[in-house]
Amino acid sequence: MSEQRVKWVVGNWKMHGRLAENAALLQAVADGAGALVDVIRIGVCVPTPYLAQVQALLADRPVAWGVQDVSTYTHGAYTGEVAAGMAAEFGATLALVGHSERRAYHAESSDLVAAKARRALESGLTPVVCIGETLAEREAGTTEAVVGAQLDAVLSLLSVEEAARIVIAYEPVWAIGTGRSATVEQAQEVHAFLRARLVQKEASLARVALLYGGSVKPENAQALFGQADIDGGLIGGASLKSQDFLAICAAAKAASLAR
């Protein structure tokens, strides 16, 4: 039992929220989290302008928080960018990097994503490195080649000690926001492949948390989280509804206890 990896449930609010609705959501999540964090870890990644609000509302509550992207730079003439160190000043401990929406709409390469992961680590943040294939890539049979290359870019930049501190989120692009989750078998297959790839670099990296993301809902969460190599979820739409998010967190706890 002590060898079991801890499960995580992380919300990605994307570009959603306003002060009043955030407050209600955060209070409800923090209240519900108390009964769950004896077994799992819970976090929310919010739009950067809300960091101060989240810090004020979640300080001393059992929910971690973070940002959805960080710059590859520590400071400088990079208008609009946010440094990992700035997020850390607001108590953030998590930073998504390489979300497929950033890769697609901001042309982020895997090398750039790797540099962002390293910056996050330097500032004491846990990077949640997002990887995943498009539908065309899956249909062409290149899923493992695509996610393998995305993971390799990060592993080749980081030392083993650094790599041991990252979290990976496998998010098939075709499952994001579509209501069409990967099946448990599809998700587990890719997670097992990723874990083997981590172990190839260094045996101790078997313990890196591998989250699944893409249309996770209360109805499918426990089956996904019950898979041998799935260590929790990165939750988009359902993280904006406290009841759904907490139900997914409860599913992660139940899946942990069922092992």
In 3D space, the residue among 175, 184, 239 whose CA is nearest the CA of residue 213 turns out to be 175
Task: Tell me how far apart the terminal alpha carbons of the chain are, to the nearest angstrom.
Answer: 8
Name which of 135, 126, 119, 26 is nearest 75 in CA terms: 119
CB of 99 to ligand 13P, least distance (A): 6
| 235 near ligand 13P, rule: CB under 6 A | yes
Measured from the Cβ of residue 111, the count of other Cβ atoms closer than 10 Å reads: 13
**DSSP conformation class of 11:** E
Beta-carbon-side half-sphere exposure of residue 183 (alpha carbons within 13 Å): 3
Largest CA distance in the chain: 51
- Alpha carbons 218 and 108: distance in angstroms, whole number: 31
Q: Is 249 in the site for ligand 13P (CB under 6 A)?
A: no
Evaluate whether 256 touches 39 at the Cβ level (below 8 Å): yes
Size of the site for ligand 13P (CB under 6 A): 14
**Is 215 near ligand 13P (CB under 6 A)?**
yes
Binding residues among 2-31 for ligand 13P as defined by CB under 6 A: 12
Q: Is 99 a catalytic residue?
A: yes
Which entry of 99, 101, 133, 137 is annotated as an active-site residue? 99
- Closer Cβ to ligand 13P, 13 or 160, answer by number: 13
Q: Which is nearer to ligand 13P, 60 or 225 (CB)?
A: 225
Q: Other CB atoms closer than 10 Å to residue 77's CB: what's the count?
A: 6
172 binds ligand 13P (CB under 6 A): no
Among 213, 224, 225, 246, binds ligand 13P (CB under 6 A): 213
Q: Find the shortest distance in angstroms from Cβ 75 to ligand 13P.
A: 27
Contacting residue, 69, 137, 171, 231, with ligand 13P by CB under 6 A: 171
59 vs 247, which CB is nearer to ligand 13P? 247
Point out the residues that are catalytic. 99, 171
Site of interaction with ligand 13P (CB under 6 A): 12, 99, 171, 176-177, 213-216, 234-238
